[in-house]
Amino acid sequence: MITRRLASTVTTSPGDKSTRKIVLVGAGFLGSYIAKALVADPRNRVLLVSRNPQKLHASLSRLGSQILPPQSTDITSPEAPESLKEAFKDASAVVSMVGLLVGSNKQMDLVQRQGTEYVSQAAKESGVKRVVGISAIGADEGGVTAYWRTKALGEKAIFENHPTATIIRPSIIFGPADSFFNRFATLAKWLPFLPVFGGGHVRFQPVYAGDIARAVEICCRDEPEVVRQVGGKVIEAGGPDVFTYRQIMQLVLRYSGYEGSRAIISLPFWVGKIQGFFLEKLPENLFTVTRDQVEQLREDNIVSPAPPMYSLSFPDLLKAFPSSLPSSAPPGDAGLASVEKVLPTYLGVQNREEGKRTHGRSGGQGLEDIKKMSGIGKK
């Protein structure tokens, strides 16, 4: 008997040998998760397109012939539109992960606005039917930082060229090889304290990369019922728990093995702005922080409690259209992974140094202990 969780993924007859080419643009950390989610459907063929896609392609090549030879494209170059059209030939779907975490206003505009425009226009001219854009919670044309403004302009370009596209706006994304939790765990190794700004009260809703990948796989489908529900929608994606910035630093220290030996110190926002003024002028490194990043720490980075009419619930999407990936979640459960379960598998000192993983077996009470200390419960 086919369970409800699997039933919605069986949409073709056993004799259907049709294939679907799906192009991932800007493939990196998140791209590896999305590629794995896509190849769970044997019809899908995945093409990686970025400036340097070879490393990711090598790590995914063990998945077999469903991972196509990659294509190198500099999204900021004048040749990008023609190169993208070549990559998009005969594609069923395109996933745009074009983005930049650190850069000047000009660089942000060049990558996140113009680069996304190139992708969306090339997809339109190539006749691509499904387009999915990865944006960020906080994207706003009137936002206080270039990051948020250019993310919003990228969304606008996608919808102008593809009214039935889907935009996914994640909070901070976590998982092995992420650039957030791993960075602070490394800082804890070298610094006597971890800094937070303004008391560390700003809230985040970390979301597992694998859960974002499941949503992208669903949104890439061309089934009429899927397109009807996700077309033209914005999906704010957060995990099952909300944390303050300070709580997140406590989690980092606990799961990286430095709890009790490292302090968490709150710095005024103006101090962060001064640091950013100097550090953003240097080559990007472990200690890089920008003034815009400090400014963004004044605003909560969580799913909106009052989403606009054109939005779609992230958990509801995962419930309605279960992934082809194996899952232990029961029918009707979104199966969102928690920070408590995943962080211990890759943040521990032993895990990072020796490559061993606990698969969530250790530190199981960390989340609840930290919430008790902070007096903040699950949101």
Share of the chain above pLDDT 90, in %: 60
pLDDT digits (tens, 9 = 90+) for 166-181: 999 999 999 998 989 9
Question: Domains of the chain by range and CATH?
Answer: 4-262+274-374 (3.40.50.720)
Query: 370, 250 in Cβ contact below 8 A?
Result: yes
Residues 226-252: what's their mean pLDDT?
95
For the cut 60, the answer to whether the pLDDT of residue 369 exceeds it is no
Instruction: State residue 94's pLDDT score.
Output: 97
Among 64-73, 139-148, 163-172, 340-349, the minimum mean pLDDT is found in 340-349
With a cut of 70, say whether residue 357 has pLDDT above it.
Answer: no
Distance of alpha carbon 256 from alpha carbon 56, whole angstroms:
26
pTM of the model: 0.85
Question: In whole angstroms, what is the distance from residue 76 CA to residue 222 CA?
Answer: 30
Tell me the mean pLDDT in the region 104-123: 92
pLDDT grade for 333, boundaries at 50, 70 and 90: low
Q: Which two tokens stand for residue 327?
A: 């899952």
At residue 244 the predicted structure's pLDDT band, cuts being 50, 70 and 90, is very high
Q: Which of 156, 181, 183 is nearest to 167 (CA)?
A: 156
pLDDT for position 327: 57
User: Would you state the pLDDT for residue 347?
Assistant: 86
258-292 exposure pattern, b = at least 16 Cβ within 10 A, e = fewer: bbeebebeebeeeebbebbeebbeeeeeeebbbbb
Averaged confidence pLDDT in the chain? 84
Burial 155-179 (b: 16+ CB within 10 A, else e): bbbbbebbeebbbbbbbbbbbbebe
CA pair distance 10, 33, nearest whole angstrom:
21
Secondary structure class of 95 (helix, strand, coil): strand
Question: Is the CB of residue 131 less than 8 Å from the CB of residue 94?
Answer: yes
- Looking at residue 118, its pLDDT comes to 95
* pLDDT at position 3 over 80: no
Instruction: Name the one residue in this structure whose structure tokens are 């970390």.
Output: 206
pLDDT for residue 378: 42
Among 51-65, 267-281, 286-300, 328-342, the range with the most confident prediction by mean pLDDT is: 51-65
The three-point CA angle 28-32-36 to 5° equals: 160
Characterise 169 by phi-psi region: left (phi > 0), alpha (psi -120 to 50), beta (else). Answer: beta
Q: CA gyration radius for the chain?
A: 21
pLDDT digits (tens, 9 = 90+) for 187-203: 999 999 999 999 999 99
pLDDT at 117 over 70: yes
Q: Which two structure tokens, joined as six digits, stand for 139? A: 């994207």
What amino acid occupies position 220? C
Query: Pick the residue with more confidence: 350 or 362?
Result: 350
pLDDT of residue 150: 94
- Quote the distance between the C-alpha of residue 48 and its chain's center: 16
Q: Cα separation of 243 and 250, whole Å?
A: 10
**HSE of 2 in the Cβ direction (CA atoms, 13 Å)?**
10
- Give pLDDT, residue 6: 33
Nearest alpha-carbon partner for 178 in 202, 199, 201, 208: 208
Task: Determine the pLDDT at residue 364.
Answer: 38
In this predicted structure, the answer to whether residue 229 has a pLDDT above a threshold of 60 is yes
How far, rounded to the nearest angstrom, does the alpha carbon of residue 349 sit from its chain's CA centroid? Answer: 24
Q: How confident is the model at residue 374 (pLDDT cuts 50, 70, 90)?
A: very low
Q: What pLDDT, on the 0 to 100 scale, is given for residue 148?
A: 92
Q: Kindly tell me the burial class for residue 10, based on how many C-beta atoms sit within 10 Å of its own C-beta (0-12, 13-18, 19 or more).
A: exposed
The pLDDT assigned to 156 comes to 96
**Confidence category of residue 353, pLDDT binned at 50, 70, 90:** very low
pLDDT at 351: 52
Band of residue 321 on the pLDDT scale cut at 50, 70, 90: confident
Among all chains, which residue has been given the structure tokens 């909070």?
A: 171
Phi and psi torsions of 23, nearest 5°: -105, 130
More confident residue, 301 or 370: 301
pLDDT at position 359 is 30
